[in-house]
Amino acid sequence: MVARGEIARFWSLESLHMVSSDGGPESSALVDDNGSEEDYSYEDLCQANPRYLQPGGEQLAINELISDGSVVCAEALWDHVTMDDQELGFKAGDVIQVLEASNKDWWWGRNEDKEAWFPASFVRLRVNQEELSENSSSTQGEEQEEDAGSNRHKHCESKRQMRTNVVQEIMDTERVYIKHLKDICEGYIRQCRKHTGMFTVAQLATIFGNIEDIYKFQRKFLKDLEKQYNKEEPHLSEIGSCFLQHQEGFAIYSEYCNNHPGACAELSRLMKQSRYRHFFEACRLLQQMIDISLDGFLLTPVQKICKYPLQLAELLKYTTQEHSDYDNIKAAYEAMKNVACLINERKRKLESIDKIAQWQVSIVGWEGLDILDRSSELIHSGELTRLTKQGKSQQRTFFLFDHQLVSCKKDLLRRDMLYYRGRVDMDDMELVDLEDGRDKDWNLSLKNAFKLVSRTADEAHLLCAKKQEDKVRWLQACGDERRRVQEDREMGMEIPENQKKLAMLNAQKAGHGKSKGYSGFPVAPPHQNLHPLHQRHVTVPTSVPQQQVFALAEPKRKPSLFWHTFNKLTPFKK
C-alpha cells in the first residue's frame, strides 16, 4: 500500500481526483483571485482534473485498489432502510467498507459484522481513505517512548494532510459546480430563449426555476471563498466565515428545490418529442458540456445544498480546537444544517398542501375560508366526543392542523364520507387537562376529557376521548401544534399565496364532475386519507427510497471518454 506521507487519495460521487503529498492539486487552481470563472474552458478543466469517466470507469479504479489490498471506505449520504436480507441497511454518516464495485448501481460492502449489497448512489467514497485510527498509537505496546512521540508527530502531520484534502475537495467541487451552472445558463437557457416557437416564458420558468439567481449568488460565494483559501498551506485556510456571511443567501435554494419536481415533469413531457431531444443535445454540444443529460444538470443544485453540511462536518472532524477557523467551521456546520432543515420543511409543506387541498374538496358542505389560508400541515386526527353544557354528546372526527382544529361528522350510511361541522381557532385557545370525575364548571361527570378555552371570548369546547392513551396523544398533539407554529414563525416558514391558490384550483378541478350522492345533491368523493406528519427532519434528507423530500440520485451519464491510458491507475498500486 502507498505510504501515508506519499499520497492521499479521495473521490466523491462527482469526481475521482488525486492530491499530491503537499496537499496541492496536480494542477493549479482554475479560478483567479477575483473568483472569476470566465477565463478558462472546459477543456482546461478536464486536463486539470480527469473527473468525468465513462460508466464503469470509477468502478474499475475502485476494484483495482481493492484487488491490490487497499481498504476502500464510503460514507453514507442518506439512510438506507431495507427489509431485504440481501441488502445492507445503514444510516447517514455510517462508514461502509467497499468490497466489490463492478456493478454501476449496486456495490458489495461490509458494515459492522454484515456483508451485503447497497446502492452506490447513496454513498460517497471517503476523502481520506487512510485515516489514522485513534488506537493506532497503542496497538504495539512494546514501542519505546521515542517511537510514541514520533507517532504523535505523524498523527498531527496526517491530520493536517486530511484537512488539506477536505478543504481542497470543497474548493474543487465548488469550481466545478460553478462551471455546471454556467453551462446551464449559457448553454441551455440562452439558446431556449432564442427559440420562442419551441418554448414559452412559463415553460422556461418551470424547467429552470431561479437557477440564474443561484448562479449569480454562487459566483459571489466562490469569489469570497477564494479570498479565504490559502494556496500555499491549504490546511490553514479559514473558509468558515464565508458560509456564515452567506447563510441567508442560501435560502434561495428553497424556491429551486420546491420547483424541481415540476421541472422534471415538464422536461420529461418535452423529451417525448424528438425535436426537443435533438435541440437539448445540440445545446450541450455547442457549449462543449460534459456528457450528462439536462435532467442531471438540473439536479446538481438540489444535491449541492444537501452536500454542504456533509462537507463541513468532515472539515470540522479534521479541524483542531486550536485552529483559528474552528469556531467558524462549527458555526457554519450548524448554519448550513439549518438551511437544509428550512428547505426540507418548505419542501415537505409544499408537498402536503396538495393533499390538504384534496382533503378539503372531499369534505361535504365546507364553509368559510379555505383550510390553506391559515394552515399547511396536519398534526393529528381522530374521533372525540364533544359535550355541550346541557350534557348532550356529539360524536365527531377532528383534524388538528397548525392554527386550527376542524370537526366533521361521518355519514350514517356511508362512513367514509365526512360533513363539515365547524372549526376552532387554536391561536385563541388555551388547553386545559381535566381530571376524571365531576367537572365543577359544567356539572358533568367526565372521563378522559380535556377542554379548549378561549382567551378572548366566552367560548369553551369540552372533548372526551375513548381511552386514556387517546387523550394523552391529543394533549401531546396540541402541544406540538403550538410548538410548530412557533418554529414556523422563527424560521420564516410561509407558503406563497400563489402555491396555495394553485393547490386548491388543482384539487377542485380533480373533484369536478363527480356523480351525485344518494340524497340527490352533488357530493365530493369519499374523504381523502390525510396522514399527520409526526416527525420533522432537522438535517439533510434521511430516506431517499421513501422519496419524502427530494428525488436525490446520481446524474445520468452518457458515454464519454475514459482515461487516455490505463496507466493513470498506476499511482494507486502498491
pTM value surpassing 0.85: no
End-to-end CA distance of the chain: 4
Structure confidence at residue 111 (pLDDT): 85
* DSSP output for 35-103: ---TT--HHHHHHH------TTHHHHHHHHHHHTT--EEEEESSBB----TTB--B-TT-EEEEEE--S
Q: Which residue has the cell 500555499?
A: 232
Distance from C-alpha of 265 to C-alpha of 485, rounded to nearest angstrom: 32
Structure confidence at residue 172 (pLDDT): 92
566 DSSP assignment = G
Structure confidence at residue 12 (pLDDT): 34
Q: Alpha carbon of 165 to those of 122, 133, 139, 234: distances in Å?
A: 22, 17, 26, 8
457 DSSP assignment = S
557 DSSP assignment = B
Closest CA to 7 of 110, 124, 161: 161
Structure confidence at residue 3 (pLDDT): 37
* DSSP output for 273-315: SHHHHHHHHHHHHHTT--SB-HHHHHHHHHHHHHHHHHHHHHH
Structure confidence at residue 507 (pLDDT): 87
Distance from C-alpha of 239 to C-alpha of 224, rounded to nearest angstrom: 9
Cβ neighbours of residue 314 closer than 8 Å, sequence gap 6 or more: 75, 127, 166
Structure confidence at residue 354 (pLDDT): 86
pLDDT per residue as tens, the chain (574 positions): 333 333 333 333 333 333 333 334 333 333 444 444 444 333 343 344 443 333 445 667 777 778 777 888 888 877 676 666 678 888 777 889 898 887 777 888 988 778 888 888 778 877 555 443 444 344 445 445 555 555 555 556 677 888 899 999 999 999 999 999 999 999 999 999 999 999 999 999 999 999 999 999 999 999 999 999 999 999 899 999 999 999 989 989 988 888 888 888 899 999 999 999 999 999 999 999 888 889 889 988 988 888 899 899 989 989 999 999 999 999 999 999 888 888 877 777 777 888 899 999 999 999 999 999 999 889 999 999 999 888 889 999 999 999 999 999 998 888 778 999 999 999 999 999 999 998 888 888 899 999 999 999 889 999 999 999 999 999 999 999 999 899 888 777 777 787 788 889 888 888 764 433 333 333 444 555 665 554 443 333 333 333 333 333 333 334 333 333 334 444 434 3
Q: Residue 90 in contact with residue 96, Cβ under 8 Å? A: yes
Distance from C-alpha of 434 to C-alpha of 475, rounded to nearest angstrom: 11
